[in-house]
Amino acid sequence: MNNKLVPASLHKLVVAIAPILVRIRELGATNYLALCRNNRRQQQVIAGLVCCAALTFFITLSRMQSATASLGLTTPVLIATSNIEPGDIITSQLFSPRALPRSAVSPTALHDLQTGLVAHQSISIGELLTTTNTGMNASTQLQLPAGFRSVAIVPPAALPPMQVGDHVDIIANGIVLAADALVLSLMENTTGTVTGVIVIGVIVAVPAELSAVVASAAAIGDATMVVSS
């Protein structure tokens, strides 16, 4: 534009506000650059947080897999879902199948239901069904004497001939744990034998103060019995 055509007053106004316009442009450019830097910083922070979360997830997953592997393989077991009394027939309504690590399961635990299985001991809710608290036949059982506790024993070796009412000594690792224990009932199995019946375990009455020791030995399969006179 030809400055000669611009009125003197307007030219003075343009000259006066020119520095202000330049300052506004500088401030706008500075704010824009700061905003760009802030956006990049936010993106960097978000990316860092995402990387930390992913790393934490993979570390946790790896630890869980290691913990699962350390427990070893699992095995099916039967867990009582109701209180079961001695002599009760074990049906599918009384237990629930579960899978537990083999290292945490007793060697006497049952892994499946057998036809004709009955309880030989009181079984509480949440307790494992085992060969010591169940059996294939509910034989005649004597009444538990006062001050005694009943313990089921499945010896690792064959049992000597005995019958309900006999007295036996309970032995583990060469030590007599309970002398003159009373045989309350016999746990019998009617399958896989020539005669049709074989005694696989015995429920005995032992003094209350010895019941914990005898039960512990029976649970790990160390307890055996000899018939006393």
Give 38's contacts (C-beta < 8 A, 6+ positions apart). none
More confident residue, 199 or 56: 56
Alpha helix positions (H), 72-121: none
Bridge partners for 60 per DSSP: none
Residue 191 has pLDDT above 50, yes or no: no
Please tell me the least confidently modeled range out of 1-5, 59-63, 205-209, 220-224: 1-5
Residue 196's region, left for phi above 0, alpha for psi from -120 to 50, else beta, is left
What integer pLDDT is reported at residue 137 of this predicted model? 57
pTM over 0.85: no
- Over the chain, what is the mean pLDDT? 77
Domain 72-135 has CATH 3.90.1210.10: yes
Bridge partners for 152 per DSSP: 203
- For the chain, the structural domain boundaries read 10-70, 72-135, 139-229
Torsion of CA 113, 100, 103, 56, to 10 degrees: 170
What integer pLDDT is reported at residue 190 of this predicted model? 46
Q: Is 196 helix (H, G, I), strand (E, B) or coil?
A: coil
Take residue 157 and report the two structure tokens written for it. 């070796």
